[in-house]
Structures are given as structure tokens and as C-alpha cells.
């Protein structure tokens, strides 16, 4: 992949022909990075903290009394992508009222990403039309509040419901703004 993601443990496999794993040494330059030997033969863990265009992993091997430079490889440094917000396993469209109420909250998922990362929903706003007026209910956390559950229980067929201003906090400590979930009760 030649990409390191900020704030996660990036696994790297390093080997040098003719050298045992204990003889191999690695260092990293750029990205505010660190590299440490992990459990397993030839496995290393890289952590980067700074968004830069790239960083370089240098590999050397201790052969007898000398240490020989074996080469280096350049990696791009990227932020982890934003998760996608789901309610009842959908990101929008028609939904049965019972399914929506039973969902109990918003779940962030990492679609098409190679790492399993946990994001936590920190807040959102539920907006829906009630008696001709748009009513909004801000919520802290990802679960439905009692007021949100009450509002959803009062929804009728054809009514549009929006989960907006969804915020999620990731393992890198950053808070991300996620897309709106627009639903219609069927």
C-alpha cells in the first residue's frame, strides 16, 4: 500500500536476505513517526502523527562488527478517512418506523478501509416536520435520547426524518463531521 495512516498502528514486514530478524534494524524519518519491532518474525509497527506528504523507512542489518545500509522505502502519510453514519444499517432512503425506532442510535462504520477502527458518535441533531413546523432535537452521544425516541414513535408514513450535524471522534483523537442521514418513513 505504501501508506501510513495517522493515529493507528500500521503493520510493516521487514526482512533482509542473509540476516536474522534480530540483526535487522529500522528507523523512520518524517511524519513524526516511530517504528518498533512487533511480536512475530520480521513484523514492525509504525505510528505517524504529522500529516506530511511522505516519510521514509530506512533498513540496515548488523553483519558481524559492521552495520550495512540495506535500503529505504518512501511511504505516503494520510489521515484516516471519515466513517459513514448508519441508522438501522442504512445511510438514507425509505425505512419502516419500527426498524428506525428499534435501531436505538447512529453507528459509524469504516466502509472499504483496511483497518478496523472504532469511532464514537459524540453528537447529532434529529430534525423532522411536526405539525407543519421543523423541530430539531440536539443529542449528545450516538444513542437516541428519550425525546428522540418519542419523536420517532410519533412519526407517520411519508414523513421525512434527518439526522444532521453528526460528529464522531476517532482513535486519532480528532472529531469528524459526517454526512446527513435522510430517511422517509414507509
Is 22:185 a contact under the CB 8 Å cutoff? no
Instruction: Give the C-alpha separation, 36 to 57, whole Å.
Output: 12
* Beta pairing class for 175-178 and 181-185: unpaired
Are residues 90 and 69 part of one domain?
A: no
> Residue 31: what pLDDT?
82
Residue 131: pLDDT band with limits 50, 70, 90: confident
Are residues 131 and 157 part of one domain?
A: yes
> Residue 1: what pLDDT?
63
Residue percentage of the chain with pLDDT more than 90: 75
**End of a domain among 41, 59, 78?**
78
Are residues 32 and 122 part of one domain?
A: no
Stated length of the chain: 186
Are residues 38 and 90 part of one domain?
A: no
Taking phi over 0 as left and psi of -120 to 50 as alpha, with beta for the rest, 180 belongs to beta
User: CATH no. for residue 51?
Assistant: 2.60.40
Instruction: Give the C-alpha separation, 170 to 54, whole Å.
Output: 22
What total of structural domains would you count in the chain? 2
- Segments forming the whole domain that contains residue 30: 3-78
Are residues 88 and 74 part of one domain?
A: no
DSSP H/E element including 92: strand 92-95
Angle at alpha carbon of residue 45, lines to 2 and 70, rounded to 5°: 65
* Gyration radius of the chain over CA positions: 24
> Residue 98: what pLDDT?
97
Are residues 69 and 19 part of one domain?
A: yes
- Kindly report the number of other CB atoms within 10 A of residue 87's CB atom: 23
**End of a domain among 78, 104, 124?**
78
Are residues 178 and 100 part of one domain?
A: yes
Joined together, the cell numbers standing for residue 19 give 540476516
> Within 13 A of 84's CA, how many CA atoms are on the CB side?
10
Are residues 70 and 106 part of one domain?
A: no
Are residues 124 and 62 part of one domain?
A: no
Instruction: List the helix and strand counts (H, then E) for the chain.
Output: 2, 15
Are residues 135 and 121 part of one domain?
A: yes
Query: Residue written as cell 559492521?
Result: 66
Task: Evaluate if pTM is beyond 0.75.
Answer: yes
Are residues 73 and 156 part of one domain?
A: no
Answer yes or no: is pLDDT of 139 > 80.
yes
173: DSSP letter = S
Residue 100: pLDDT band with limits 50, 70, 90: very high
Are residues 159 and 67 part of one domain?
A: no
Is 136:130 a contact under the CB 8 Å cutoff? no
pLDDT (tens digit per residue) in 27-58: 999 888 899 999 878 999 999 988 877 899 99
**End of a domain among 44, 78, 112?**
78
pLDDT (tens digit per residue) in 67-99: 999 999 999 999 889 999 999 999 999 999 999
Mean pLDDT of the chain, nearest integer: 93
Closest of 81, 1, 74 to residue 33, by C-alpha: 74
Amino acid at each position: 500500500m505504501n501508506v501510513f495512516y495517522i493515529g493507528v498502528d500500521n503493520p510493516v514486514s521487514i526482512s533482509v536476505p542473509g540476516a536474522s530478524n534480530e540483526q535487522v534494524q529500522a528507523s523512520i524519518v518524517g511524519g513524526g513517526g516511530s517504528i518498533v519491532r512487533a511480536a512475530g518474525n520480521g513484523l514492525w509497527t509504525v505510528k505517524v502523527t504529522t500529516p506530511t506528504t511522505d516519510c521514509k523507512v530506512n533498513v540496515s542489518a548488523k553483519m558481524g562488527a559492521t552495520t550495512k545500509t540495506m535500503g529505504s522505502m518512501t511511504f505516503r502519510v494520510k489521515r484516516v478517512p471519515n466513517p459513514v453514519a448508519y441508522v438501522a444499517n442504512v445511510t438514507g432512503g425509505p425505512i419502516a418506523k419500527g426498524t428506525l425506532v428499534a435501531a436505538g442510535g447512529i453507528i459509524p462504520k469504516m466502509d472499504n478501509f483496511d483497518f478496523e477502527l472504532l469511532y464514537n458518535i459524540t453528537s447529532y441533531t434529529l430534525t423532522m416536520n411536526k405539525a407543519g413546523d421543523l423541530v430539531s432535537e440536539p443529542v449528545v452521544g450516538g444513542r437516541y435520547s428519550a425525546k428522540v425516541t418519542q419523536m420517532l414513535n410519533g412519526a407517520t408514513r411519508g414523513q421525512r426524518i434527518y439526522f444532521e450535524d453528526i460528529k464522531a471522534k476517532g482513535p486519532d483523537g480528532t472529531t469528524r463531521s459526517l454526512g446527513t442521514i435522510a430517511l422517509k418513513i414507509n
